[in-house]
A and B are shown apart, each in its own frame.
Chain A
């Protein structure tokens, strides 16, 4: 009897989980489906789900009208650059906080996190003016730096929780064995922290890829990323849902594929501190 109750419970859980999963995924699915409809079908009432005339027309028009590759390259450059720069700063920062903590370490960590609570728009004006004065408006460099800075608190936190899990003894053993600080970081700490560093990189890539506030506000034609590419299909000529969806699908596809292949790593990284 106990078993059958368990199985029933399992089934209920599975159904609930799938329902929630589909609910969350539905907007993405709808976007992808809409991208294959004509503009007329896209706004059809009642909405068409699967039974419509599938077409690649929107992709062709989008491709023709704007330079997808340029936006893609900007996204890769900015997401990749900000992640690389962020990791180079975050690893030593997290190392020092995890292994040589001071009385203030906890406060610094909390303060860093608190900066994430500030609405981004609150600093838009100074940063915008700053970019103009420095001649960095619509430049990839500015976005690399800004996106690196806004994600830095999160990746320092993530690496910090990872490093905290590494037994102190092992690092002390390497010190006894004659490893200098850098050798300790290169030969002992980093190899042990690779899973953590990898999932931190991945998360940072996704966050930077999806970022739209700063990319929309600080770029125009030159340094626009895929988020700007999507946005360019939303307004001036009225609403073209099908083309907008096609643009969106093209923009999210790379990161979706990356996320799909690394989901195991990502989940492990995000829950690492919680579940030992």
Chain B
């Protein structure tokens, strides 16, 4: 079981309130991602759940049991840190065995569990090595191994992949997702990378300035962002925002439109602009358009087969049914 419920949770550091009163439910077995820009409070929220920080007010319940005052180890959660936080003086075997040793499990049982975890994570050949002799990906796997042997009711991941290079990151992303499918245990994952959030999450919690902006499935957030912040944060490249007379004509203070919802047409169309830059990714080409008259720059997704030159004039047609309308407060209309 791993049902976690936060009620009116707040956290102050001195006079600064980094988490404003906040409610959140994390269902058993769910893969929840906290995402937001740096300093938004996502890591603090995770550390509050872990028990590494004390609540200023509010309560945290784990499986229906009040856990706000419990020591970290008592909460039955396991955490994987961004820095891996392996014990540098212990070899891989001892690192993975450490939590079991701390609960006083007997040696044979520990051995069995460690070997099983090592097999799952492909670490069998490295059990005698010290962390310093491992690559980044292997270290991360040891950190995960140390977490899974405890059979926690939930896993907490604090930006676990941000120290890895891009290729390895994609691989580990898949491994963690597969691990979630296999174990079916609640996982809470903190990242500032919205691609990680979109690809891994069952549910995403978007945070900004210590407040939850929106909670939903990746596609819900993508298709129906509740406000300008979520609209701008989720999706890559970013959504285009248009203000002024064109937006007013649509009956909104500002209008958001995603790059894939603007098409390039051969003949005269709604907008016209000049290509400032074309980024060819092979499958797609992203155009940055200037002088459209509606926004300073517009990002447009075009077919990767077509080529565009800098300075070329293009006609653009927004897909009217895919517009996101926001009022003056930045809320969805």
Contact = CB atoms under 8 A, between A and B. Distances in A.
A173 B71 contact: no
A175 B72 contact: yes
Give the size category of B's interface with A. 20 to 34
Q: Is the interface of B mostly helix, strand, loop or mixed?
A: loop
B79 A179 contact: no
B91 interface: no
Contact of B89 (A169, A177, A178, A191): A191
B150 interface: yes
A170 B89 contact: no
A183 B81 contact: no
Given A191-B89, A192-B89, A176 B83 contact: no
Give the size category of A's interface with B. 10 to 19
Given A178-B73, A179-B73, A173 B85 contact: yes
**By CB atoms of chain B within 10 A, which of A174, A177, A178, A183 has the most?**
A177
B57 to A, nearest CB: 21
**By CB atoms of chain A within 10 A, which of B77, B81, B82 has the most?**
B81
B52 A175 contact: yes
Given A170-B87, A191-B89, A177 B102 contact: yes
Interface string B68-94: 000111000111011101111100000
Contact of A169 (B72, B78, B85): B85
Nearest to A167: B83
Contacts of A187: 98
Contacts of A177: 73, 98-99, 102, 146, 150
B50 interface: yes
Interface of B: 50, 52, 71-73, 77-79, 81-83, 85-89, 98-99, 102-103, 146, 150
Interface of A: 167, 169-170, 172-179, 183, 187-188, 191-192
9 contacts: A167-B83, A170-B86, A175-B72, A176-B73, A176-B99, A177-B150, A179-B98, A179-B102, A188-B87
